[in-house]
A = this chain, B = another copy of it.
Amino acid sequence: MPTDLRAGIPAHDLERFRAHLLTLADEARRIIRSACDQGFEVKHKPDGSYVTSTDVQVEERLRALIGKRLPDHGILGEELPAHAPGAEFQWILDPVDGTEDFVQRIPTFGTIVGLHFRGEPVVGVIDMPMLDARVHAAFGLGAFHNRERLRLADLGADVPPAQVRLMLSARANFVRYRDRDGPAFDALTRTYPNHRIYRTCYAHACAATGQADATVDYGNHIWDLAATRLLVEEAGGAYRTLQDFHTPTGRVFSAVFGRPALVAKLASLLGESPEAKAP
């Protein structure tokens, strides 16, 4: 087995990066809560999705904080052009994941931040300001739900599919880039009828906390998944990339994550891409 690149990062750097990550999440939460109270502007992007003044405001603020403290690190965000795309360390940002829900005050939206080292996740956070909930992790240092350390149990072999608590993206996410993935949604919803669909990072956080047994999410950009693999793996869960392909609007990933035995079953049902590499 090849050595994990991340094992070479000094412990004090990991702790420093984690502290910085939590500062970023605090700052995003402060801006978002203030926007919820005071209102914000909503615009439609060319692809029909929403963007708000808050998405841009949060991303600008996080970029400024990263640039001040760690100026040689790259930054890749949903709303603004990449900074230092060749750097070994890359901060990946989704300032408001689930903007449509944010606009509607449906409280499962959140901020996603991950720091990757040569493509491998080092620290990550999903923060949901309206739920007062945060899941964060650092490589080798564990995953936490607010202050509680996460330790996922595996799914018992005797749990019937009808009792599995599965979270999914909507059918829209399955067919956004290619129609042929619609049947994957249909097969999942038939085989695992006890499903919930949130369309936001909340479903990713729940796979790390065990509030979902597993989550299947199709048609994501890298910032949607910037923290997920690390959160789930540090909690004791499994993460598998199902698809990794290029579209005119960028590279797209589909993934399954959560309790290991269930992730293996779902990857088998959905057909794991042999060449796929986790973001």
Contact B194 A197 (CB under 8 A): no
Chain B nearest Cβ from A162, distance in angstroms: 7
| Interface residue from B107, B182, B190, B211 paired with A171 (Cβ < 8 Å) | B190
Q: What does DSSP make chain A's interface, helix, strand, loop or mixed? A: mixed
Interface residue total, chain A, C-beta cutoff 8 A: 29
Give Cα A171 to B146, complex, Å: 32
A211 partner residues in chain B, CB cutoff 8 A: 104-106
Chain B nearest Cβ from A83, distance in angstroms: 32
For A133, the closest partner residue in chain B by CB is B107
Contact A195 B197 (CB under 8 A): yes
Give Cα A195 to B171, complex, Å: 8
| Interface residue from B106, B162, B175, B195 paired with A206 (Cβ < 8 Å) | B106
Chain B nearest Cβ from A82, distance in angstroms: 29
Q: Is residue A116 within 8 Å, beta carbon to beta carbon, of the partner chain?
A: no
Give Cα A185 to B188, complex, Å: 13
Q: Is residue A172 within 8 Å, beta carbon to beta carbon, of the partner chain?
A: yes
Q: Is residue A61 within 8 Å, beta carbon to beta carbon, of the partner chain?
A: no
| Interface residue from B131, B170, B182 paired with A195 (Cβ < 8 Å) | B170
Q: Is residue A149 within 8 Å, beta carbon to beta carbon, of the partner chain?
A: no
Q: Is residue A198 within 8 Å, beta carbon to beta carbon, of the partner chain?
A: yes
Contact A170 B193 (CB under 8 A): yes
Q: Could you list 6 A-B pairs, sorted by A, with CB under 8 Å? A: A105-B211, A106-B211, A168-B197, A171-B189, A172-B193, A172-B195
Residues of chain A having any CB pair with chain B under 8 Å: 48, 100, 104-107, 131, 162-163, 165, 168, 170-172, 175, 182, 185-186, 189-190, 193-199, 206, 211
